[in-house]
Chains A and B, each alone.
Chain A
Amino acid sequence: QKEVEQNSGPLSVPEGAIASLNCTYSDRGSQSFFWYRQYSGKSPELIMSIYSNGDKEDGRFTAQLNKASQYVSLLIRDSQPSDSATYLCAVNRPQGAQKLVFGQGTRLTINP
């Protein structure tokens, strides 16, 4: 079992709709959770971080964390073509040696 799992997609969503991206992790000691966006040929860009159970909203983005279910999700409202990218879920364990572990990413396409 991989430490962080994501559906690789591709996920296709019409413009203006809500895109929902999901991630599960195996290490119950994980305490920091991140979503990165990666455009083709570019490096990952941090878009959301979440540390506590519940929802965290930032503009059109909402991150959701459920530690009991070991589940993290990212919702993108009013999807735009510029949101088309690969979205990477990452998990970290800050005590002692950090190990920021990534999922394989979900490729999202927003159709105009």
Chain B
Amino acid sequence: GAGVSQSPRYKVAKRGQDVALRCDPISGHVSLFWYQQALGQGPEFLTYFQNEAQLDKSGLPSDRFFAERPEGSVSTLKIQRTQQEDSAVYLCASSLGASQKNTEAFFGQGTRLTVV
């Protein structure tokens, strides 16, 4: 497709359940970001991939959060043993590359996760 695609759009999980969120970036985009956005706040950086390499995971809030991009295209964000504080919108963005003018990042529609 032409844009960044995320699935599912909505996910309701029971506390303690594991979830997997998928991101399909724009074809050919080298860089991929995951963000967490709470209501009324800006997106908070979680992690960054350049192709299949996870170059920065400093924003992952705990070891329950894990992200991968094994073939340098589709990425999955996995949250184990979900807690209520994990409820948020999870946004994925991709950009063409790492040189200055290729860093314009485009977002998917997001996945709204609700932990009950």
Contact = CB atoms under 8 A, between A and B. Distances in A.
Contact of B98 (A49, A98, A103, A104): A98
Interface string B94-111: 010011110111111110
Interface string A19-32: 00000000000011
B70 interface: no
B100 A51 contact: yes
B31 interface: yes
Contact of A44 (B50, B58, B100, B107): B107
Contacts of A46: 104-106
Contacts of B98: 94-95, 98
B37 to A, nearest CB: 9
Contacts of B42: 4, 6, 88, 102-105
Interface of B: 31, 33, 35, 41-45, 48, 50, 55-56, 58, 91, 93, 95, 98-101, 103-110
25 contacts: A4-B42, A6-B42, A31-B100, A32-B103, A34-B105, A44-B91, A45-B107, A46-B105, A46-B106, A51-B101, A92-B103, A92-B105, A94-B100, A95-B98, A97-B48, A97-B55, A98-B31, A98-B33, A98-B98, A99-B48, A100-B45, A100-B93, A100-B103, A105-B41, A105-B42
